[in-house]
Structure 1
Amino acid sequence: MKSIKTYDNKLQSKLNHLKLHPAYLPHIGLKFNEARTKVLIIAESHYLPEKHNNKFSVADWYHNPKAIYNEIGDDKGWFKTRGVINHYKTVQPLSKGHGIFKNLETAYQTINKDVKLFDECVYFNYFQRPSEEEGETIKVHKIDSEIALENLMVISEVLKPNKIIFVSSAAYKDYEDHVTKEQKDKLPYVGSVPHPSASSWWNRKSKRYGIKGEAVTGRDKFIRIMTPKNK
């Protein structure tokens, strides 16, 4: 079994962005290599506390992050992907921002009640910088889309998942707007579901989430995608 450190070394050797921002390395579940459904779960973006709202330029984030990190200080934990997941797994009571993880994990337990989702999956945010304001949707620039797609392609190449699920409509739309046919051919199945805590469609039925005209919830679609075909 490949270690997380081995994956990290490969990812950082292929992506200078992840050398500059190691906090953005994806969460890799310790049982990912053993999982029947090896899946990448992709959300939208991190954010910083309100005191940092609209302080940092897009260019500095991608090309000159040193000054940003010096000013952020200990708040960089807000966008450390693995730290956010570990915080969710260990801290009670959960904050509102952790609803996405709880709802995903609860849905997954209907398939495998004995395994925690985040022990098996890979998780990261599509956009590779924090949004401008705490808790708000990121304002997407051209470079955000370019680096997000490059990051996805490399993570898929290195980790070799058999499924990719977007849990953010905004991230999935940006992916669809920019991915080429050649890139799609290199990826496994890619699907999307509504945001598990921010969208009412996670628990509301719609024909767009079902098969053959059946109306199901976004949660039902997630469970369908995550269920191994030979189960």
Structure 2
Amino acid sequence: MNCIKTYDTDLLSKLPHLKLHPNYLPHIGLKYNEARAKTFIIAESHYLPKKHNNLFSTDDWYNNPISIYKIIGDDKAWFDTRGVIKHYKEQQGKKLPKGFGIFNNLEKANEEIGSEIKLFEECVYLNYFQRPSEVEGDSINIHEIDSKTALENLIVLSEVLKPNKIIFVSSKAYNDFMNHASKEQKEKLPYVGSVPHPSASSWWNRKSKKYGINGTSVTGKEKFQRIMTPKI
């Protein structure tokens, strides 16, 4: 836990955005430092409950968050990354809410390749875009500041946490990263790959050549497992 506090101090000092929105600090597994392959799992975005749909401007989110927090009150828990993962872990063994399908499918896929440690005990998890989407359950409408802030956030997280691999589980987030990161920025990062969304995309369980190698067809889940399997 002390190492996580040290990471937090470093991240908050380097990312002004996280000072405004500390709920966006990434989930860091307690066994992350011991993991054979330190892995970032990156999804797309949080969202707020329906009553807040389309109420907040992008500008206010990044520059005047006090005005937003006064309105949303306790609903800020909806974009508390660590709180969301904590809640998911507390629900294991029970009937999971639909929104937790992404976490459950990722952990099951990781277990199938023989991992004895729960995925979220040893990975870093975050949403790429550092702002909730405008509508509950919908994909975010990307603005230039979203792309800029998300990329800056990822670069600093990588510098501080030093992952060995980065896996996007959102094509929208991955494509935005690929379109905005410079060649130099990409070269400073470790392996970066992507797989289809584990619960929202049918391609998680459907085969395609774009997920395989050497012309083979595999599912999105199998690609994830290939990336996660330790290389001897």
Question: What's the TM-score, normalizing by structure 1?
Answer: 0.98
Q: Which runs of 5+ in 2 are unaligned?
A: none
Question: Residue 120 in 1 paired to residue 107 in 2?
Answer: no
Amino acid at match of 2:212: G
Q: Which residue of 2 aligns with 1:108?
A: 110
Q: Which residue of 1 aligns with 2:218?
A: 216
Which stretch of the first structure deviates more once superposed, 86-95 or 158-167? 86-95
Q: Which residue of 2 aligns with 1:198?
A: 200
SS at match of 1:135: coil
Which stretch of the first structure deviates more once superposed, 112-121 or 167-176? 112-121
Amino acid at match of 2:36: R
RMSD: 0.9
SS at match of 2:230: coil
SS at match of 1:124: strand
Give the whole-Å Cα distance in 2 for the aligned partners of 1:199 and 1:111.
21
Cα offsets for 1:195-214 (capped at 9, x unmatched): 00000000000000001000
Give the whole-Å Cα distance in 1 for the aligned partners of 2:193 and 2:2.
26
Give the whole-Å Cα distance in 2 for the aligned partners of 1:160 and 1:126.
17
Q: Percent identity?
A: 71
Give the whole-Å Cα distance in 2 for the aligned partners of 1:224 and 1:82.
27
SS at match of 1:33: helix
Give the whole-Å Cα distance in 2 for the aligned partners of 1:70 and 1:83.
20
SS at match of 1:3: helix
Which runs of 4 or more aligned residues in structure 1 lie more than 6 Å from their structure 2 counterparts after TM superposition? Answer: none
Q: Which residue of 2 aligns with 1:226?
A: 228
Amino acid at match of 2:63: H
Cα offsets for 1:111-163 (capped at 9, x unmatched): 23421000000000000000000000000000000000000000000000000
1:1-231 map, 5 Å: 3-91=3-91, 92-230=94-232
Query: How far did 1:93 drift?
Result: 1.9
SS at match of 1:140: coil
SS at match of 1:191: strand
Query: How far did 1:58 drift?
Result: 0.2
Residue-pair matches, total = 230
CA contact (8 A) 1:37 1:227 kept: no
Query: How far did 1:2 drift?
Result: 6.2
Which stretch of the first structure deviates more once superposed, 22-31 or 86-95? 86-95
Give the whole-Å Cα distance in 2 for the aligned partners of 1:111 and 1:93.
24
CA contact (8 A) 1:23 1:79 kept: yes
